[in-house]
Amino acid sequence: MDPVVERLLVVDIDDVGIDVLNAAHTPTLDRLTAEGRTFLQFHATGLCSPTRTQMHLGCHGSYPGVHCLTWISRLDPYGVPSTVVRPLGSVVSAAGLTTAKVGKWHLGPSNDLNHPASFGWQDYRGLLFNPDPGPFAYYRYRKFINGSPLDVDGRYLTTDQTNDGVAALRARNDLVSVSYHAIHRPYHVPPAALTTIQNPTTDVEKAMASLEALDHELGRLLGAAAEEGYTTLVFSDNGSVGPLRGRKNSTHQRGIRTRLWAVGPGVVPGRDDSLVSAVDLYATVLELLGVARLSGDGPDSISFAPQMQGGAGSRTAIYSELGPRNGFDARLDPDHWDRIARGDRYKFVVSRPGVGTAFFDLQQDPEEQNNLINGPLDQAQREELARLSQVVRSKVMR
């Protein structure tokens, strides 16, 4: 299997919903939109840990034996297993390629300092969880370098992660993954040199300032990637939260539909409306690097490498989910397991008690206000409802 690209950089940014992007000053991301390929129908989950699970394992969080349905707290004994499905980093490493992971992990239990290594990342530098609360959290934090702690005081976290990312690129690792914490809470004041918003005081101002700072440092990272010949993928893990009035922690479109950009060698610029899921990153990375998938690798993942080169996509539906806790079989508690399936136009929702089922026409009703489930439905709508219901059912029955 021949590689499509020479080296690959995958970047995820945190809590950057479409509503934020439309309001912020982000010249780097704007340049990605102009010069790269923008996937307008990229979907993740409504929370960070389940989305990261999709990328690393190529399966949804409810996959038997995985059971990651919500965020992982420091007190949660659950950790995403690396033995049910071969992790992305492990597959790449087994093919003789080099891997480096930088930034937010948020997938393992707090007592497992080598959890990233068990996922095949040969070099890991970052925070295993989110920063502690407080106004100085992005300046005082404990990072881990291959299992060893390092207390940092006075170096801005987004800058530190960019420095580590640039070093991994300069070392010419075959696969580099950089996971920024920004713009995730705690809301804070970034260095003045990185933002045009001076002396931000409200949470909204601080969040927008941290996004500008992220965009500035992302520019440095992408500059190094271009110099070293990397193809780059950038995406947000879920919609925005808090004062920015997004719909994080939900299966609403504002919570799960974000953006993905691709730029560099092997990418045809343009705007792409094909359906793409965060779970598809697994298969896409392997195809781009020319690494073969074995039976059982990335069972829910479909490569969008053809779309990056201007071809047509093969995914006909998006599936996403959230649940109340990790480490249990969601199929045993379906009333508290939120599931959605959407096609090009319609979306089917099965939610927890008090919400029930819903069917939305996203073309006519993008804010999901008019539930069509009780009809009357025309023939095309009935057929699509039946198809999307089957997509959800297939996840419940496996």
Q: What is the DSSP string of 132-153?
A: PSSTTTTTEEEEEETTEEEEEE
Task: Please tell me the predicted confidence (pLDDT) of residue 333.
Answer: 82
Task: Please tell me the predicted confidence (pLDDT) of residue 391.
Answer: 97
Q: How far apart are CA 6 and CA 143, in angstroms?
A: 30
Tens of pLDDT along 342-359? 999 999 999 876 668 999
Cβ within 8 Å of residue 15, ≥6 positions away: 183, 184, 185, 236, 237, 238, 239, 240, 241, 246, 248
Q: How far apart are CA 173 and CA 54, in angstroms?
A: 22
Q: How far apart are CA 184 and CA 69, in angstroms?
A: 19
Task: Please tell me the predicted confidence (pLDDT) of residue 85.
Answer: 98
Q: If DSSP codes are grouped into helix, strand and coil, which group holds residue 193?
A: helix
Tens of pLDDT along 64-82? 999 999 999 999 999 999 9
Give the number of residues written for the chain: 398
Pairing of strands 230-236, 175-179: unpaired
Give per-10-residue mean pLDDT for the chain (398 aa). 95 94 93 97 97 98 97 95 98 98 97 97 98 94 98 98 98 98 95 96 94 98 98 96 75 95 98 98 98 97 97 97 93 87 97 81 95 94 97 89
- The kind and range of the H/E element at 94 are helix 88-94
146 close to 162: Cβ distance less than 8 angstroms: no
Task: Please tell me the predicted confidence (pLDDT) of residue 332.
Answer: 86
Task: Please tell me the predicted confidence (pLDDT) of residue 377.
Answer: 97
| Cα-based angle 85, 87, 88 (whole degrees, multiple of 5) | 130
Cβ within 8 Å of residue 188, ≥6 positions away: 135, 136, 137, 138, 139, 206, 210
Tens of pLDDT along 368-388? 999 999 889 999 999 999 999
Residue 32's beta-bridge partner residues?
A: none
CA neighbor of 101 nearest in space, from 139, 147, 132: 147
Give the global pTM. 0.97
Counting residues of the chain whose pLDDT is more than 90, the rounded percentage is 90
Task: Please tell me the predicted confidence (pLDDT) of residue 375.
Answer: 83
Q: How far apart are CA 52 and CA 100, in angstroms?
A: 16
Task: Please tell me the predicted confidence (pLDDT) of residue 242.
Answer: 64
Task: Please tell me the predicted confidence (pLDDT) of residue 243.
Answer: 59
Residue 151's beta-bridge partner residues?
A: 142
Residue 252 region, left (φ>0) first, then alpha (ψ -120 to 50), else beta?
A: beta
R_g over Cα of the chain:
20
Task: Please tell me the predicted confidence (pLDDT) of residue 315.
Answer: 98
Q: How far apart are CA 111 and CA 114, in angstroms?
A: 9
